[in-house]
Amino acid sequence: MFVENVEWQIRQQPHHAMIAIFRRKTRVVAALFLVLAVYLILGLVPEHSDTLYGFTYVRTSYDWSKQPLKYPISEYAPLPTGRPLQLPKVQYAFTTDTSPEGVAREELLASRRAEVKDAFVKSWTSYKNVGFGYDELMPVSGQGRDAPGFGGWGATLVDSLSTLWIMGLKDEFYEAAAAAVTIDWAVTRDTSCNFFETTIRHLGGLLGAYDLSLETALLEKAIELGDMLYMAYDTPNHMPPFWLDFDDAKHGNQVAGNHDPSASVTSSSLEFTRLAQLTGNNKYYDAINRITLVLDEWQNKTALPGMWPTFFDFAQLQLDSDNSFTLGALADSLYEYLPKTFAILGGLEPIYEKLYRGAMDTVIKNLLFRPMAPDKDDILFSGSVYVSSDTGPHLTAEGQHLACFVGGMFGLGSKLFNIPEHLEIGEKITRGCVWAYDAMPAGIMPEIFNLFKCETLEPCEWDEAQWEDEADTQLTKGFKNARDPRYLLRPEAVESVFLMYRMTGNTEYQEMAWRMFQAIRNATETDLAFSSIQSVRDVDTVKTDSMESFWLAETLRYLYLTFSSPDLVNLDDFVLNTEAHPLRRPR
């Protein structure tokens, strides 16, 4: 797929360039001049870079596509064939309001969009100033840092590509893309990489940027990375480990883990499916399809049938060794990717609908709860369940910022699978997260907190005595505690708000998003950018000098899209991976 330049042709096949010249003796002199030109080119052109689709492209110095497999596969499972189905519309049928009120509304949204963009540009400029080679900017000290397990491959650089394009920052996009296509995946101080994070941030980032811009050099860089990440599946049972150890991968010594977070080893179906679609190489799809079949086999054999536990023993392929269940940290994107993978496959693989329906039936019966609140707010949260061999499932009324994606997931499942009640559930979960934002002094929900729960999903009476006896009464009524009061610039709440706006057309969600953005900006802004904070219980917040790449890739992207034209990243044209990278749905 490379467009080779003259230097490459002469390096690889010099005899083809000269064979015709020597057919006649009169061309000998010309041949001498050509030989001289060859040596000049070889001496002046760099050894490891090519001009590729207008970019100076650096090929990864270790070609993983040529690495022999210790456990080869005789026949790959192919991508589903046939024309994608005409799936139900996900996005609301928006219309243009040309009335004076509609024009004024658009002007207001444009001003809000501009303020979100300003926050992005401030963050991006400060990151760029410390150098694209760093994974993250430290937004208080102004230094750069590499995140453990991220390889030092410029996580913020790659994660931000799609946001640059979406916000119309095309000059900055091409500057960043030019840097991204020089990444050498073999150059790292680390001996291994986090398979999950590298897949969703780097591979997803490159694929999303390609699907928006159609810049083929970005796809080539994604293929290089995909070939490296594919080696995680070269284990005795073809299940991936949490860490991709480079030396073990080269020598066939990898094995799956016996206590790995379920999300980390199951959440590559979107990225690998899209890579298979773009390249025609079924090895990527085969890898994730094997995991899907394991999920199907075990769905109704776990301690909480319908769901899968928080931790997997993939080494022994025993998915019943853990009795904890959650949609939050460590398990989240396993469930998120079920309707999304269905969509990117054009509905041609029905197993993902089956897995989603079975899992959500169990979630509704066992994990969802309504908080006890004085105003009987019509909201829901997703808690955590532990299954005792003696007493059965026990629900803890715990809220997590990470679990706020669940509202959007229910909405997407409702639309794709025609389950109207799931949209109602999704709205209640989304509004619950917004309620938790509004309840805190900083206007932002905590990382982890506990609530008082009603016995059913219906309203219940407020118990003032119980609250006074058991709760931290400095918090808003309804909260028991704010066990982890940090805010890490996370996107999950604004993600669901964005999705609910796009799926329902209800402008109330735009107002929620604006209120959330203002609170986040007020609580986290530094001289250079925006920082995680120590506690949302404080109005005068303490900054912790951390700005993960998802601030630019997700939080600000979702906010910007909430105030943008619905045609920008239309949900019927794209699926957003768990890092908000837009992957194009096939037609």
List residues with catalytic annotation.
Answer: 197, 332, 447, 492
Q: List for the chain the helix, strand, coil content (%; round to 5).
A: 50, 10, 40
The sheet with strand 479-484 has its strands ordered as 398-400, 448-451, 479-484
Q: Which one-letter DSSP state was computed for residue 182?
A: T
Pair 303, 385: CB distance under 8 Å:
no
How would you classify the pairing of strands 192-194 and 243-245?
antiparallel
| Closest by Cα among 184, 190, 188, 198 to 232 | 198
As a whole number of angstroms, the distance between CA 278 and CA 208 comes to 12
Contacts of 507 (CB under 8 A, 6+ apart): 105, 501
Collapsing DSSP to helix, strand or coil, 546 comes out as coil
Q: Which one-letter DSSP state was computed for residue 372?
A: P
As a whole number of angstroms, the distance between CA 146 and CA 193 comes to 12
Distance of alpha carbon 410 from the chain centroid: 17
Helix (H) or strand (E) holding 205: helix 204-213
As a whole number of angstroms, the distance between CA 573 and CA 118 comes to 27
Pair 299, 305: CB distance under 8 Å:
yes
Pair 488, 473: CB distance under 8 Å:
no
Collapsing DSSP to helix, strand or coil, 8 comes out as helix
Alpha helices in 253-344, H assignment, sequence order: 262-266, 269-279, 282-298, 332-344
